[in-house]
Amino acid sequence: MCSLCRHNPCDRRCPNSTYEPEFICSMCGTEVVGKYVYDKEMNMVCEECVLGMTVEEYLTYIAEDELEFDEV
């Protein structure tokens, strides 16, 4: 247990912490460690943002060019 923050492992705000985020989500800006990511040319997105997208938003995000959808 850390003598400063009293956590094991250290809280990420502790000066003794070795916390390093794997990436910062390009959509919501949160620091992410050990979660699913979608990487489109280094445009990293966290799991929560991917799951929060509609099908249209997701298809547009992963498409090479902008997709156009017809109204049904």
16-45 confidence digits (pLDDT tens): 888 777 788 888 888 887 666 777 677 788
For residue range 41-69, what is the model confidence (pLDDT) as tens digits? 777 888 888 889 998 888 877 775 555 65
pTM here is 0.56
Q: Is 8 left (phi over 0), alpha (psi -120 to 50) or beta?
A: beta
Distance (Å, whole) CA 56 – CA 3: 50
* pLDDT at 9 exceeding the cut of 70: yes
Amino acid 22: pLDDT? 78
